[in-house]
Amino acid sequence: MIDRLSKKSARLAPVLVLALVAASCGGEQPAEEPEAEPTGGAFSMSICEPESLIPQIGAETCGSQVMNALFTPLIEFDPLTDEVIFAVAESITSDDNVNWTVNLRDGWTFHDGTPVTAQSFVDAWNWAAFGPNGAGNNYFFGPAGTNIVGYDDLNPEKGKPDAEELAGLQVVDDLTFTVELAAPFSEFPITVGYNAFYPLPESFYDDTDAFNEAPVGNGPYMMDGSWEHDIGVNVVRYEGYPGTPGNADAIEFRIYADLDVAYRDVQAGELDIADVPDAQIESGRAEFGDRFIESASSSFTYIGLPLYQEEFQDPELRKALSMAIDRQAIISAVFFDTLTPADDMASPVVQGYREGACSYCVFDPDAAKEMFDAAGGYDGTLTIWFNNDGGHETWIEAVSNQWRQNLGVESEFESAPFADYLGRLDQGIDDDPGTEGVTGPFRLGWVMDYPSMQNYIENLHGTGAGSNYTTYSNEEFDDLLAQGKSAGSLEEAISFYQQADDLILEDMPIIPMWFGLNQSVTTERVDNVIIDKFSFVDAALVEVAAE
């Protein structure tokens, strides 16, 4: 298991130097600081076939990796420190955490030359929030996300919406717009770094399908040609970019259907950057040496428990189930030590995470058995649910073995392809449970939308929240979250979130399993390959070594 802290500080040093140099340069004295000039060259990296290149639609990593190069949002996150960097936005301020004023910087343009204005943002957000547009990131504007006033009018349960624009969005002038939220949310500024909030040029609304094939963004790179489906997307540096220019002249995002093939292509020297398949981690580490890059990702895997089933309503039983699992053993045996056991309900990559906070995540088979028996045990056979298209069979079986060994309870399995699986989870939490819904422990994962503890705990455990499949509902928890969201400072917010975290750590509606790691390999041609917490390569920072 890697020691994340020492790896982080070791890699921080060269980047800090680069950041200092880049910061001091700012285009004022290029002659004296040549390192700030883009290094040039072209490189290639692997992606899978994107579902969409329209930021308001695409939510998966493949398309997002490309869109990160093509667009720049209001705010960005430093890939190593997660500090907020104001990009297109000059400031996002509020007195009451409800009414926000967004001031934009001047001089930002889209790749077609048109200016990036407040209208560019407001129109894009309205388009995404409008239900009938079927945008995948629509929910970011509703109660499960930023909760902008007027969302419900654009997304009625039945029938056509009354309005086409969010009442809570108002354009003040070319460089200013206001946002009114339906409930206070102190961390609103950091949520707007996500795809859903990218600006769109006017050309988008004329032909969204054509835009999808060749998006026109405002980022450091622009499209070179169109999206060649299943083959690749090529981009070149946008010379009119007001921010730090991308280092490479051109990037080829090559599309692979199979991770293994991309990895072999890096070995053959045909591809510059690729992820590492689980089975190759050991050999890859040895073969690639310092070109094997590992960093913390925000992914979080857990086993949820259906609280609508009577058997799982006793917290002592749930704690016992959790303590009977030896996470490290599974990670070593099944995952070649590529993951870290979960010890909190939020990932270590967000502020507020506390190491070892989950006392019931510690493996203690004796205590588990005691607690299990005291709670009355489990009658009959457990049914463990998971989606069968994610390669989870092995570790789920390992968990069931441990439950049999340590608690004496047998399990059987139910699995389905992901689409069906989600449907079953939904049916389970509908008003009439037991109708083919999920009836036992179920596997799910979470990747953060923005770096905040709230994103982990509210979406999974808030009453009626979008990804709350356990049906956990705790008024005190919801209150603490609301207090955190309307807190005056980040420290205050975090203390509320941690108190809320303590509640769910005591109630254990889910069994946290592990946190993920990013692993990639590169050829010698590229340098400064940094993978951020969202598991994206910061393409603009990659340097191509001089030939």
Partner 1 sequence: MGRFIARRLLQAIPVFFGATFIVFTMVYAIPGDPIRALNGERPISASAQQALRDRYNLDDTLLVQYGKYVGGIFRGDFGETFRGRPVAEILKEKFPVTARLALGAFIFEVILGLIAGILAGLRRGSFLDNLVLVSTTVVVAIPVFVLGFVAQLVFGLQLRLLPIAGIQHGWVSYVLPSMVLGSLALVYIARLTRTSLVENLRSDYIRTAEAKGLSRPRVVGRHALRNSLIPVVTYMGVDFGTLMGGAIITEGIFNIPGIGREVFLAIQSQEGAVVVGVVTAGILIFILMNMIVDVLYAVLDPRIRLA
Locus of tokens 């009938």: 132
Q: Interface with partner 1 includes 431 (CB under 8 A)? A: no
Pick the binder of partner 1 from 115, 277, 377, 466 (CB under 8 A). 466
Site string for partner 1, 103-122 (x = CB under 8 A): --------------------
Locus of tokens 């995404």: 128
Q: Interface with partner 1 includes 133 (CB under 8 A)? A: yes
CB of 508 closer than 8 Å to CB of 527: no
Q: Interface with partner 1 includes 416 (CB under 8 A)? A: yes
The two structure tokens encoding residue 109: 């343009």
Pick the binder of partner 1 from 422, 429, 482, 490 (CB under 8 A). 422
H/E stretch holding 398 reads helix 393-407
Number of other CB atoms surrounding residue 379 within 10 Å: 7
Query: What residues from 326 to 385 belong to the interface with partner 1 (CB under 8 A)?
Result: none
The two structure tokens encoding residue 329: 């053993």
Provide the angle, in degrees to the nearest 10, between the axes of the packed helices 453-461 and 490-507: 40
**CA 149, CA 169: separation in Å to the nearest integer?**
8
Query: What residues from 16 to 55 belong to the interface with partner 1 (CB under 8 A)?
Result: 49, 51-52
Task: Give the nearer residue to partner 1 in terms of CB position, either 185 or 446.
Answer: 446
**CA 132, CA 138: separation in Å to the nearest integer?**
10
Pick the binder of partner 1 from 194, 211, 256, 534 (CB under 8 A). 256
Q: Interface with partner 1 includes 419 (CB under 8 A)? A: yes
**CA 103, CA 90: separation in Å to the nearest integer?**
5
Nearest to 246 by CA among 89, 39, 78: 39
Q: Interface with partner 1 includes 310 (CB under 8 A)? A: no
Amino acid in the structure at residue 342? A
- DSSP assignments along 204-253, one per residue: HHH-HHHHHHS---SSSEEESS--BTTTEEEEEE-TT-SSSPPSSSEEEE
Closest separation in Å from C-beta 102 to partner 1: 24
Q: Interface with partner 1 includes 83 (CB under 8 A)? A: no
CB-based burial label for 31 (10 Å; 0-12, 13-18, 19+): exposed
The two structure tokens encoding residue 395: 């570790």
Helix (H, G, I), strand (E, B) or coil at 147: coil
Closest separation in Å from C-beta 190 to partner 1: 18
Pick the binder of partner 1 from 444, 480, 500, 517 (CB under 8 A). 444
Q: Interface with partner 1 includes 209 (CB under 8 A)? A: yes
The two structure tokens encoding residue 102: 């967004």
CB of 403 closer than 8 Å to CB of 444: no
**CA 525, CA 418: separation in Å to the nearest integer?**
38
Closest separation in Å from C-beta 141 to partner 1: 9
Q: Interface with partner 1 includes 230 (CB under 8 A)? A: yes
Pick the binder of partner 1 from 104, 179, 233, 262 (CB under 8 A). 262
Pick the binder of partner 1 from 4, 42, 114, 131 (CB under 8 A). 131
The two structure tokens encoding residue 418: 């992901």
Q: Interface with partner 1 includes 279 (CB under 8 A)? A: no
Pick the binder of partner 1 from 41, 55, 142, 243 (CB under 8 A). 142
Q: Interface with partner 1 includes 418 (CB under 8 A)? A: yes
Q: Interface with partner 1 includes 261 (CB under 8 A)? A: yes
Task: Give the nearer residue to partner 1 in terms of CB position, either 208 or 528.
Answer: 208
Query: What residues from 172 to 201 belong to the interface with partner 1 (CB under 8 A)?
Result: none
Closest separation in Å from C-beta 231 to partner 1: 6
Task: Give the nearer residue to partner 1 in terms of CB position, either 139 or 188.
Answer: 139
CB of 123 closer than 8 Å to CB of 200: yes
Task: Give the nearer residue to partner 1 in terms of CB position, either 194 or 496.
Answer: 194
Contacting positions for partner 1 (CB under 8 A):
49, 51-52, 59-60, 131-136, 138-139, 142, 144, 154-158, 160-161, 209, 212, 229-232, 254-258, 261-262, 264-265, 267-271, 389, 416-423, 426, 444-446, 466-467
